[in-house]
Structure 1
Amino acid sequence: MKKISEISITIGSLLVLFTPLFSTAATHLTVAASTQSWTELTSMPIAVQEIYPVLHQGEIYVAGGISDALPEQDGQMTAAVQIYDIAKNQWRRGPDLPEGRHHAQLVSVGSDLYLLGGFVRATSANNGQFWQAGNWQASADILKLSANATPWQAVGKLPKPLAETVSFVKDDQIHLLGGRSPAGSDNSQWQHHVDQDWHWQINPTDLPAPTAVTTLTKLPVKKNSAAIAVLDQQAWWLGGRNRKLGNSNGLAAFDFKSASWLPKAQTPDLPEAQAGLAAAAVGQHICLFGGEGSLEPNNVFSTIWCFVPKTSSWQAQGKMQPARHGHGAVAVGDSVYLIGGATVAGLKETTGLVQRWQLGSK
């Protein structure tokens, strides 16, 4: 057990106006008068990026991931499941996935864990340069790890292979939004996949029957590598990218009561167009962390932006230390645990860094 360092940062109050890329209207932003507390914790034993950690039974689970430090013969991806004991600040290994994968959704439903989709190593790949050649095969797998079980079990299939999506759980139903899926029969390289506007709802108790998956109203836009957070009976869908249009600064919210998307007037654009970011609900804020812009010149975002639905405004709440993308953000009480990722854009400089961030007002 170790705690490397703990610091506090106080930011003064400043009102600014900012018009983000691709936006047609100014977004009102403030730099909030608040104190952020940072605590550096025990790093992951295996540094990974492109992960979607989840809080499960009081611990944080990380399943799979990809890293520039992992062997090319394994597609630079891992099947490892890493479990973080919050109270002890310690990591341990859980049951490995059946195969290495990344960009897969990990969700907690009751006492069970589910992993959905993601990229696995392409079976038809004949090029050793896995990242450069984009030899990633999208998966339709639905895997389950039951309480006290040791192996993961295949319990169903998605309607289509899907990766780079986002997910949330509502009333024990799993929701998948957007992502990338094969455009045709080819499914062995990243460039074979296109952006989607699907919104699927999955009832785990009905698996493996195909009827376990219900198609809901299409999303407002097609995009991948977004982030999502749930607050006050609404799921907030942030950022992401469209392969043809580039990074998105879009914000949309799905209202559980009406089962519809909120009007655009209630969802002002993000201050910056960013993808590969992470988000979490903290108090009455939706806070987003990091993300990447273009690969050149290794554009990674550092400002922590928090959206306040009650005032429909954005606030800057300090900076990530260091900036990164492809990481996870897990809210536990009034804290957010920021896990892994990479400090430069692309499959470079993968880190196992784990930090606890807390937002407090003066």
Structure 2
Amino acid sequence: MSHIIVNCRAIIVLLTMILFVLSATPSVFAPTIPEDSWTYAQPAPFEGRNQAVVLNNKIYVLTNSKNLFFEYDPATNVWTQKTSMPTSRWTFAICACENKVYVIGGVTKSLGYGSDLTTGVTEAYDPQTDTWETKAEMPTKRAQMNAETVNGKIYVISGETGGMRTEVDVTEVYDPNTDSWTTKTPIPTPRVLYASAVMDNKIHVIRNGHQIYDTETDTWCNGALVPKPAYTSAAACATTGTDAPKRIYVVGGDKSFASAMDLVYSYDPASDAWTKCACLQIARMGHGVAVVNDLVYAISGATDFVTATPTVERYRPFEYGTIPATIGIIYPETKTYTTNEIPLEFTINKPITWMGYSLDGKNNVTVFSNSTLKQLPEGNHNITVYATDIKGNTGASITKHFDIKLFDQHPQQNDDKSDSSIDLVVIAAIAVTAVGATFVIYHKKLRKHSER
């Protein structure tokens, strides 16, 4: 009966995996377009300068004009208008953090003659309730900067405080958990209207140079320059390494006074090198960019000083769909176990069609989820977990080594027996001595009595 229950459970888990794979979004499969090429997606219900951010595989776009706020779902190719933010402004910073969209700073009023009134207002949008909430104000009021999220904190770098020639070098960090701001190391060369993206906990600031901020060490360094950089208003984003190689993409921008570019470059932090990619179908500047399932989206924007476009383009990177799953073994750990039943637990970063393990270099054993390794013999062991994704790529974990040493299950009982034996000998010796002493005393008394 038990084996029937086990088989039923295995079938249920297998069906669950199949449903999970089949329910994957169309953009995960992506492959109707060749590598390194752009195709059109559903046009935006607006046109003009905007900024975009990704939250839970959906793209949220806030326009500079009228502050219209939209949600785009790449899985359904549908746009939905959402509640507008309370504070009207433009050239603000936007990012996603802790399941909310944050809009920070910006210009609230143009004072003329190249002077602007800036704000430090921070407002957070909750997609679950379609509502906005005001948070702690950014200490340095400014605009024309970006916000990037790293490990649950928001970094706002440089910008300008009041119009032309008011650039500042400040780096300020917002912590949503404490609703507070702190100051970090300033950027070496202040920048406005720059492109930025995060890769491996480092923030890349790209315009008239390539400055890299390490959030872990609070230090700055320089990276390789973009071959043909935009003058301003380019946009940047990063792929994750799940379905395409980890790269930073710099898309479009203003190549001169209000003249848009169609150039696209990708940056590999590992080699500190740039690669030219396929050009946009429509040159644009002041546009939003976003990455969902490692596909790059370029959203609306301006084409020149007076013309805008509602078009949305989607880019499929080089080597898309060739990246195997990343597998991490949690258990067993690299240590010595005193039991021969060891848990097998692991993580996989994408939908898969098969997974299994090889123990001590033997044939693969298929598993449907985390399980337990049973009846393992004493000695040294190693295990590798494998997984095949929906595109047929098979990945392998790092091989884990562990030992099993089974101790005697009844060592204390043996000791107790030994101790008991010793105790009996001692008691017996005492008894014999006592009897002997009694006999001697009795014998002496008897002898005295006879002499009388």
TM range (shorter): 0.7 to 0.9
2: CA distance between counterparts of 1:58 and 1:7? 20
For residues 43-64 of structure 1, what are the alpha-carbon distances to aligned partners after superposition, in whole Å with 9 as ceiling and x for unaligned? Answer: 1112130x32111122110123
Counterpart in the other structure of 1:165: 145
Alpha-carbon offset, residue 147 of structure 1: 4.5
User: More relative contact order in 1 or in 2 (CA 8 Å, sep 6+)?
Assistant: 1
Alpha-carbon offset, residue 294 of structure 1: 2.4
Counterpart in the other structure of 2:234: 277
Over 3 Å counting, the alpha-carbon distance change for 1:159 and 1:331 in structure 2 is same
Counterpart in the other structure of 2:248: 286
For residues 135-169 of structure 1, what are the alpha-carbon distances to aligned partners after superposition, in whole Å with 9 as ceiling and x for unaligned? Answer: 75322110112343343222221112211101111
2:167 aligned residue (195, 201, 206): 195
What's the % identity of the aligned pairs?
23
1: CA distance between counterparts of 2:220 and 2:92? 25
Q: Contact 1:121 / 1:135 at 8 angstroms: preserved in 2?
A: no
2:161 aligned residue (150, 159, 181): 181
1:108 aligned residue (96, 99, 103): 96
Is 1:204 paired with 2:162? no
Counterpart in the other structure of 1:38: 38
Counterpart in the other structure of 2:219: 260
Counterpart in the other structure of 1:58: 57
Counterpart in the other structure of 2:418: none
Q: Contact 2:158 / 2:171 at 8 angstroms: preserved in 1?
A: yes
Counterpart in the other structure of 1:230: 198
Alpha-carbon offset, residue 314 of structure 1: 1.4
1: CA distance between counterparts of 2:114 and 2:270? 42
1:323 aligned residue (269, 280, 283): 283
Amino acid at match of 2:218: A
2: CA distance between counterparts of 1:153 and 1:334? 30
Alpha-carbon offset, residue 205 of structure 1: 2.4
2: CA distance between counterparts of 1:352 and 1:312? 34
Normalising by the residue count of structure 2, what TM-score does the alignment of the two structures yield?
Answer: 0.59
Q: Contact 1:304 / 1:319 at 8 angstroms: preserved in 2?
A: yes
Q: Contact 1:79 / 1:98 at 8 angstroms: preserved in 2?
A: no
Amino acid at match of 1:43: P
Over 3 Å counting, the alpha-carbon distance change for 1:99 and 1:218 in structure 2 is closer
Normalising by the residue count of structure 1, what TM-score does the alignment of the two structures yield?
Answer: 0.73
Write 1 or 2 for the structure with the bigger share of helix.
Answer: 2
Counterpart in the other structure of 2:271: 311
2: CA distance between counterparts of 1:149 and 1:136? 33
Amino acid at match of 2:189: V
1: CA distance between counterparts of 2:281 and 2:109? 32
Is 1:83 paired with 2:71? yes
Alpha-carbon offset, residue 99 of structure 1: 4.1
Alpha-carbon offset, residue 352 of structure 1: 1.7
Q: Contact 2:33 / 2:316 at 8 angstroms: preserved in 1?
A: no
Amino acid at match of 1:159: P
1: CA distance between counterparts of 2:88 and 2:184? 30
2: CA distance between counterparts of 1:321 and 1:313? 24
- Unpaired runs of at least 5, structure 1: 1-5, 10-34, 66-76, 128-132, 183-189, 240-247
Alpha-carbon offset, residue 134 of structure 1: 5.7
Kindly report structure 1 stretches of 4+ aligned residues shifted beyond 3 Å: 6-9, 133-136
Larger Cα-atom Rg: 2
Is 1:332 paired with 2:312? no
Written as runs of structure 1 = structure 2, the 5 A alignment for 1:99-178 is 99-122=87-110, 136-178=116-158
Q: Any idea what SS the aligned residue of 1:140 has?
A: strand
Amino acid at match of 1:91: W
Alpha-carbon offset, residue 120 of structure 1: 2.3
Q: Any idea what SS the aligned residue of 1:102 has?
A: coil
Alpha-carbon offset, residue 334 of structure 1: 2.0
1: CA distance between counterparts of 2:52 and 2:148? 12
2: CA distance between counterparts of 1:308 and 1:257? 20
Aligned pairs, number: 285
2:310 aligned residue (352, 356, 362): 352
1: CA distance between counterparts of 2:88 and 2:176? 23
2: CA distance between counterparts of 1:38 and 1:356? 5
Counterpart in the other structure of 1:245: none
For residues 107-146 of structure 1, what are the alpha-carbon distances to aligned partners after superposition, in whole Å with 9 as ceiling and x for unaligned? Answer: 2112222110112244xx6x8xxxxx66753221101123
Q: Contact 2:58 / 2:292 at 8 angstroms: preserved in 1?
A: no
Amino acid at match of 2:284: R
Amino acid at match of 1:254: Y
